[in-house]
A and B are shown apart, each in its own frame.
Chain A
Amino acid sequence: MAAPRQMEHTPDVDVLQELRSGRRDSLDRLLPAVYEQLRVIASRQLTLRKGGGTLSTTGLIHEAYLKLVDQSRVAWRDRSHFFALASVAMRHVLVDRAKARLAQKREGGLRRVTLDEEQLDADDQAELMVDLNDAIDKLAVTEPRLARVVECRFFGGLSEEETAEVLEVTARTVQRDWAKARMLLRRALSP
């Protein structure tokens, strides 16, 4: 077999090992890799979606996961690390994109976009995402765990059980936290 060659564009070579080590700082260092992976997958899925497919965050995260780690050898504990990481990465992806978009078109935007909208165009989504991001940061000051739940449930698309695993609380707590977080964020973003 040909000699293995170093992959140039794959940021994720040692993710498995890093995840196993489970250290907080290594998880943080991994974020860019997961971020990049999610970004690629998300865009691709959206492109394919025009052909009739559907987009699901869980799908995104799972795919990223499959790409980054060999599931068969990673314990569940590692998987929840990954989910936590992926959720944070997803938040970064969306917020960065939103900021980039707003930087391009910084006119208008007078209408306050709220979480009660059903459908938003791209600019409004960018606007709302940036506001929401700030609101979550503020939420984290008062209720840090609620902010983490938002990351997992909303950005990561994780189920209650998965979120519970990540945060090491019961699913019932996640359910309650999520309900409260939604309420608080909605209030924070209401005019």
Chain B
Amino acid sequence: MSDSEPRQSSSDFGSLLADRWLQLSPLVDAVLDAPRDRRSSVLTEVSGGDAQLRDEIERLVDECERAVPMLDRPAAEGFSHLLVADPDAAIPEMLGGRYRIEREVGRGGMARVYLARDLKHSRSVAVKVIRPDLARSLGRERFLREIEIAARLRHPNIVPVYDSGDTGGALYFVMPYEEGPSLRERLRVGPGMSSGECVSVLRDVARALAYAHEHGVVHRDVKPDNVMLSSGAAVVTDFGIAKAIAAAAGGDETPRPGSDSVPIVGTQPDSLRAITQTGVGIGTPAYMAPEQAVGDLTTDHRADIYSFGCLAYELFAGHPPFHNLPLREMISAHVGTAPVPLAAVSAAVPESVSRLVARCLEKKPAARPQRAQELLTELDAAQTTGPNAAIRRPRPLPRAVLVTPVIAGFALIGYLATRDRTTSLVKAPHEVTMAALPVVSDPIQARERPARTVNPEAYRLYVLGQRALTMRQQRMQASVERFRRATELDTLYADAFSGLSLALALAPYFEPITTRQVAGPVRAAAERALRLDSTLAPPHVALGMVHQYAYHWDSAAAELQTAIRLRKPDDIEPLVQYGRYMLHQGRAADALQQFLIARRTEPASALVSSWVAFTYLLQGQMDSALVESERAFQNDSTNYTTLQLGATVRVRRGDFAGARDLVDRLSPYDSRTLWTLAVIGDTATALQRLRELERRRPTPWLSRTTRSFVMLAMGDTTAAMAALERATDANELWPAFPGVLDPIYDPIRSSARFHALLRRVNLPLSDAIVGPRPVPR
């Protein structure tokens, strides 16, 4: 090789040599950086009149800008096949030295079904081979043991398991080859089934369930696809298979990844890892019991009863109770939506069957028929009495929803990323999905479950909602709206429902909405959040606040205490609200304790410091109040509560100009704004705004409280009392904000009429509340 020839090195780019490129690169940059209309002149310029060089650069620039299909999409899209485990691994021709595979006759989510020849008994059999990627990380012995249990079942309505094995890398089980159509196929193509036929099929299925359950075998995937119709009877197939897979997945020891080396690809199919991590049931979304759908490990035979209900529903209605829904919504419907009563969708259904199906579909396992035998008894009665009209032929269902078994927890986990793991809430993997179902009534019993979302937009909205909430912005609406949109984007997003409940509960302080109006929505959001994740604290805070709005202080205390128990270490809201509850009860010292804990947690919170300052004020410790109020302003001088309470502190200190300055930054019609204006002597403005407020229609919800505040500031206690009584009639918020210890009430503190009012709102006539207030020092 001559020295004058550039050497081909391994870092060249096709015909473009690396060295050459390094020379040209800055020139290409210059052209790329030039505006398009100047490209030509820049090209000429950088090539210095060398036409050949000009061409070369121009070609490179053109190539820089042409599409490169496999690079223009992110790798995970263009190379998506690489991300799925190989589902097409070949099946050996012979299995276990005995079954000769003839052809594939079907495939489901977990297994392929082959028609095979059983050479030992010279008969046709169905060999179901677990998907190789799934099989690879199953605990094989566990799987085969579970199958063995299922194989002991002998019942005319159950397709028996002949054999099972683990050879040649394939995990399989063997069953009789059933030619007859499945109930699914019958529903799809056959003539409409009469009500009598339907009941007859259901009785067969119920008999199979009753027998299997008695023998300790749960099906876990009852659906029309697993019911075969042969010679006039319905037989249920795949008993115990779903359980075997789930159990084998859960029982397997998987290497802990991440510590020493990059894990070897393919040793652990991802779906299985998901099962392993979450301990799930396997099932098919449209037929899945709520407890199964959320991966509750306590799922038992009553999940089959629920699935049976779905199947029965479909026979009569033509579709299962929830259908045509995306996976997530499907799951959330099973968990939280009442199905349309069967009688409302099908005229032909016998009344007793309709009732029975409704019971099967109860969300709580304890509310369903407890035994399959019970189903049988009911159905026997129905068969002798029910109408026998032909049912309209059910429409076929979307395959995607019905046919693909999914791994349930996997579906959920798929959408909900794990929560903050820096806290004591970190749980062992199998606990992670011991889900917060409605059946879990005690939140302490409930297990940690993912509350996050994987939808980035939903997450963004959540963060924004949370920020608006923390800021106590004047418009709580912003927070409510963002949380609400996050819940719409991800209907299983526990944290978003949680935030929504709290923002709604706080809304009456900031928005022209009444406490009565928010009560229902707060409960709905809080309950939904707790169903999705019963370890969340904010929904309890929200519920506690709603109880306070109804003047139910004891219930409020219970919720708030629960919230404090459940709160994440950095969550101050339960402490703040519990502290405020204490203020309402006239217990300033206890309140201060809560606020100070909150301050330790979040030293830079303007909200917390404001409450600390205010409480010092109520206790007559003016110096501490001033110091703390100053601190609050340093933390965030725009926080609404800081401005409100800061104004009161300044009023008490005699700094009227300072107070005025603060309330000018609040809503002009805020009750505390008007009180401050009146108390510092600008009664004209206060009264004018009060009248403006009262002229509005519909009557602004806090107008009566506001009137009483202005009257109190002006010394007209009679008018103030009258207004406060009307405020109580209208369920206004006065006892909860600012709280009865507030200096605002000092002029009427000892009045009998005020005491009567306190009794009406269930507040104690304690010394702290009705006695003389400490004199500011």
Residue in B33, B263, B276 whose beta carbon sits within 8 Å of that of A176 in the complex: B33
Residue in A41, A71, A104 whose beta carbon sits within 8 Å of that of B86 in the complex: A104
Min CB gap A113→B, angstroms: 9
The answer to whether A190 touches B14 (Cβ under 8 A) is yes
Contacts of B81 in A (CB 8 A): 120-122, 125-126
The answer to whether B276 touches A9 (Cβ under 8 A) is yes
Min CB gap B189→A, angstroms: 24
B228-281 with Cβ < 8 A to chain A: 254, 256-259, 261-263, 265-266, 269-271, 273-274, 276-277
List the B residue with the shortest CB-CB distance to A146: B25
The answer to whether B258 touches A56 (Cβ under 8 A) is no
A62-121 with Cβ < 8 A to chain B: 62-63, 66-67, 70-72, 90-94, 96-98, 100-101, 104, 114-118, 120-121
Measured between alpha carbons, how far is A118 from B463 in the docked complex, in Å? Answer: 38
List the A residue with the shortest CB-CB distance to B262: A32
Q: Which of A5, A129, A139, A180 has the most CB of B within 10 A?
A: A180
The answer to whether A55 touches B77 (Cβ under 8 A) is yes
The answer to whether B429 touches A9 (Cβ under 8 A) is yes
The answer to whether A6 touches B428 (Cβ under 8 A) is yes
List the A residue with the shortest CB-CB distance to B459: A66
Q: Which of B78, B82, B326, B421 has the most CB of A within 10 A?
A: B82
B454 in the interface, Cβ–Cβ < 8 Å? Answer: yes
List the A residue with the shortest CB-CB distance to B276: A9
Size of chain A's interface in residues, with CB distance under 8 A? 91
The answer to whether A142 touches B262 (Cβ under 8 A) is no
A47 in the interface, Cβ–Cβ < 8 Å? Answer: yes
B424 in the interface, Cβ–Cβ < 8 Å? Answer: yes
The answer to whether A7 touches B456 (Cβ under 8 A) is no
Measured between alpha carbons, how far is A16 from B25 in the docked complex, in Å? Answer: 39
The answer to whether B257 touches A33 (Cβ under 8 A) is yes
List the B residue with the shortest CB-CB distance to A175: B32
Contacts of B71 in A (CB 8 A): 115, 150, 154, 182, 185-186
Measured between alpha carbons, how far is A147 from B178 in the docked complex, in Å? Answer: 57
Min CB gap B644→A, angstroms: 26
B604 in the interface, Cβ–Cβ < 8 Å? Answer: no
Contacts of A31 in B (CB 8 A): 262
List the B residue with the shortest CB-CB distance to A154: B75
Kindly supply a per-residue 1/0 record for chain A positions 21-57, scoring 1 wherever the CB is within 8 Å of any chain B CB and 0 otherwise: 0000000000111011001111111111011100111
A159-191 with Cβ < 8 A to chain B: 172, 176, 179-180, 182-190
The answer to whether A47 touches B15 (Cβ under 8 A) is no
Min CB gap B603→A, angstroms: 15
CB within 8 Å of B: which residues of A?
1-2, 4-13, 16, 31-33, 35-36, 39-48, 50-52, 55-60, 62-63, 66-67, 70-72, 90-94, 96-98, 100-101, 104, 114-118, 120-122, 125-126, 128-129, 132, 138-139, 141-143, 150, 154-157, 172, 176, 179-180, 182-190
- Going nearest first, the 3 A-B pairs with the smallest beta carbon separation are A11-B258, A43-B270, A57-B74
- A sample of 14 inter-chain contacts (CB < 8 A) reads A7-B428, A10-B421, A11-B259, A36-B257, A45-B414, A58-B456, A59-B454, A66-B453, A97-B266, A120-B70, A129-B79, A180-B29, A182-B72, A187-B16
Question: Given A32-B257, A46-B80, list of 12 further CB < 8 A pairs?
Answer: A9-B254, A9-B256, A9-B257, A39-B265, A48-B414, A50-B404, A126-B82, A139-B13, A155-B74, A185-B71, A186-B71, A187-B63
